[in-house]
Homo-oligomer: A and B are copies of this chain.
Amino acid sequence: MSNKCRRTKGLFNNSNSEEFITNLVKEIAATYDDEKGINHIDGNNLPNEYEVINIINHVMELIFPGYSEKKIYSKSLLVYNAGEITANLYVELYHQITRAMLYDLNEDCSQCELEEQALQSCQKVLSKLPKIREMMKADVIAAFDGDPAAKSLDEIILSYPGIKAIAIQRFAHELYHENIPFIPRMFTEYAHRLTGIDIHPGAHLGSGIFIDHGTGVVIGETARLGDNVKIYQGVTLGALSFPKDSCGKIIKGAKRHPTIENNVTIYSGATVLGNIVIGSGAIIGGNVWITDSVEPKAKITISSPELTIKTANKL
C-alpha cells in the first residue's frame, strides 16, 4: 500500500474525523437555515458563472472571428461557423436571461410572460452584434494610432487588454439597457478579472475608445464617454459623493460620474470625480485630481512637481 493510501485510510480509521465532519456539517447547515442572507438555496434561478463565461467567449468569437478559437475559418464556410456559434449563443443567453429574470419575478407576471420577455430581450441584445463589431473596428484602429509599440491591428486584438474589456462592456451595456439583473455585471467583472479594467455596464462609451495598459482603470455606472477618448492605466472616473434621499439612504442610479466629451486624453493615475464635464479636446495630466468641470481644449497638469531632492553629497 502506498504511503499516501495509508495516511488517507488512517485519516478515517484512527481519528475523530467522521465525528468532526458530521458536527461541522451540522454547524454549517445551521448557518444556512436562519435567513436568506448570503445563501442561494431553493432558488435555482441565479445565472451560472460558468455558463456566463461561455457566453462571453462566444460573443468575443463572433466579434473577432478566427482569433481565439481553434477552429479554422475560411470565407466560404464562414456562414456555418458564425451560424453555429450564433445558434448556441442564442439558446445559452436566453436561458441565463430567464434565470436572471426569474429572480426578480413579479407576482403578477406569469412564467410564460416572463419567458416571452426574456426572448425579446435576448433578441434585442443579439441584434446589436453587427453594430458592436463596427464600434470595435474603430477601437482597434484608435489603439493602433495611439500606441507607438503597436505593430499591427492583429497584435492589438490578440494582446491588448483594453480591447477585451471594451468589447465585453459594449455587449454588457446592451444587457444593462434591458434591465436584466446580474448578467451585465458578471460580464464586466469577468473583464475586470482578465484585464484589471473595471467599467460598469451602465457606462456609455462612444466610438474609438483607447484604454492603454489599463490596470486599475475604474469607470462608473453613470459615466458618459464621447468619441476618440484615450485613457491610461490607473484612471478613475468616479463619484464624488452619493446623492441621498430624505431618510439618508443612498439613491441608487442617480447621475454621479463624469461626462467626457470627444477627443479627450486622460493620462495615468488621474482621478476625475463627480457629475462634471470634461470639455472636448481637453488633456488631463497624469495623477491630476479633478472635481470641477474643465473647459474644452484646456490642458490640466500638476503645477510644480513639489519634490525634495537630496543629492549624494548632502546625504
Q: Which residues of A contact B (CB under 8 A)?
A: 4, 7-8, 10-11, 15, 17, 20-21, 24-33, 36-44, 46-50, 62-68, 70, 72-75, 78-79, 82-83, 86-87, 90-91, 94-95, 98, 103, 115, 119, 123, 126-127, 129-130, 133-134, 136-137, 140, 145, 148-155, 157-161, 181-182, 185-186, 188-189, 192-196, 198, 200, 202, 213, 215-216, 218, 220-221, 233-234, 236, 238-239, 242-243, 250-254, 256, 268-269, 271, 273, 281, 286-291, 294-312, 315
- In contact, A149 and B220 (Cβ under 8 angstroms): yes
Min CB gap A109→B, angstroms: 16
The answer to whether B40 and A65 touch across the interface, beta carbons within 8 angstroms, is yes
Give the distance to chain B from A72, nearest Cβ to Cβ, in Å.
Answer: 5
CA distance A32 to B64 in the complex (A): 9
Task: Report the bound CA distance from A90 to B40 in whole Å.
Answer: 23
Report Cα–Cα, A153/B31, bound state, in Å: 17
Which residues of B have CB within 8 Å of A153? 36-38
Give the distance in Å from the alpha carbon of A152 to the alpha carbon of B104 in the complex: 10
Which residues of chain B come closer than 8 Å to A63, judged between CB atoms? 38
- Please tell me if the beta carbons of A289 and B288 are within 8 angstroms of each other in the complex: no
Contacting pair A30 B130 (CB below 8 A):
yes
Q: Which one of A41, A153, A273 has the greatest number of beta carbons of chain B within 10 Å?
A: A41
User: Complex: how many Å from CA A42 to CA B202?
Assistant: 37
Residues of B near A30 (CB, < 8 A) are: 130
Contacts A193-B194, A215-B196, A218-B233 given: A289-B302 contact, CB under 8 Å? yes
25 A-B pairs within 8 Å (CB atoms) are namely A7-B98, A15-B119, A29-B79, A29-B82, A30-B130, A38-B157, A39-B66, A40-B65, A40-B66, A42-B74, A42-B75, A44-B66, A46-B158, A49-B158, A145-B250, A148-B252, A148-B253, A158-B186, A215-B215, A215-B218, A268-B271, A269-B269, A286-B289, A299-B310, A300-B307
Q: How far is the CA of A285 from the CA of B228 in the complex (A)?
A: 31
Residues of B contacting A115 in the complex (Cβ-Cβ under 8 angstroms): 7, 10
Which residue of chain B has the shortest Cβ distance to A65 in the bound complex?
B39
Given A154-B103, A161-B192, A303-B308: A78 touches B29 (CB 8 Å cut-off): yes
